[in-house]
Amino acid sequence: MLSGEIKKARNRLQTVIYYNKINLQRKNLVFSLFHDRIGTMNRPIPDQVILGLLKFKPAHGYELLDYFRSRSHLGWIWTMSTSQLYAVLKRLEQSCAIIGQEIDVLGAPSRVEYTITIDGEEQLNGWLFDQHPSASVHRIRVMFLSRVYIANLLCYPVDAILQSQITACQAQRYKFIQGQNQSQTEIERLTIDFIVQQLDSAISWLTDTTFIFAKPLVNNGSS
């Protein structure tokens, strides 16, 4: 009699442990999904974009600033002040990604012209053809479009860049679908559903849009 009660108690305990384990796995999955998403919310930095511009041609600070102020170029993607630009140039120079050389200008103060280095080109190519880009909608708007812009500027093919972004979005969507199937509360389900819908829209846009520019990119100043 006693051994039977012990056996029942042990079975109940094992059942509780099993369901607690399943619930913990579910919570860990959902947490990891949102944690990964939060991890991509850090503010994007334009370092590699500037490397791409300098790969196109050496330039001084105000020439570079024109790209970020012109809506025909990067003005819809980035907001860049003079102080922010020069802070990035300083950081890139300290990391040996670029070299600044003082140039004399007739009838005007001398200025520093920046040139990309071999190390800088390696950084640029690693960023440009990153096989695991972020699937964050904000990152797609900023970083993916910046990659597309630089690739077109340098006459590089965009196919690999596009496919990597589509693959990243599809993989992220699959993870959230798994989380959605295990969601237990309405707010959790609604939140994941919203994210999945965003990813569906992003995948559709990536699939249906042409990212090769018809006109060559030439910066003629702010516009």
3-class SS of residue 153: helix
Average pLDDT over residues 142-165: 96
pLDDT band at 39 (very low <50, low <70, confident <90, very high): very low
What is the tally of structural domains in the chain?
1
pLDDT band at 15 (very low <50, low <70, confident <90, very high): low
In this prediction, residue 213 has a pLDDT band, given cuts at 50, 70 and 90, of: confident
Q: Report the alpha-carbon distance of residue 173 to residue 78 in Å, rounded.
A: 27
Q: Is there a domain that residue 3 lies in?
A: no
Residue 101 in domain: yes
Instruction: Pinpoint the alpha helices (H) of the chain.
Output: 2-39, 47-56, 61-69, 82-94, 118-128, 137-139, 145-153, 159-181, 186-208
pLDDT on residue 222: 47
In angstroms, the Cα distances linking 63 to 68, 84, 120, 193, 221 are 10, 14, 19, 44, 8
Per-residue pLDDT tens over the stretch 170-182? 999 999 998 777 7
Burial of 86 (0-12, 13-18, 19+ CB in 10 A): middle
Q: Is residue 103 part of a domain?
A: yes
Q: Do residues 152 and 212 touch, judged by C-beta distance below 8 A?
A: yes
Question: For the chain, what is the largest distance between any 2 Cα atoms, rounded to a whole number of angstroms?
Answer: 105
Report if residue 20 sits inside a domain. Answer: no
Residue 158 falls within a domain, yes or no?
yes
Predicted confidence at residue 108, as pLDDT, reads 75
For range 115-143, the mean pLDDT: 96
Per-residue pLDDT band at 132 (split at 50, 70, 90):
very high
Range of the domain at 56: 26-208
- Residue 214 inside a domain? The answer is no
Given a cut of 80, whether residue 223 has pLDDT beyond it is no
Domain containing residue 93: CATH number: 1.10.10.10
104-120 pLDDT tens trace: 877 778 889 999 999 99
Assigned domain for 126 exists = yes
Asked whether the predicted pLDDT for residue 16 surpasses 80, the reply is no
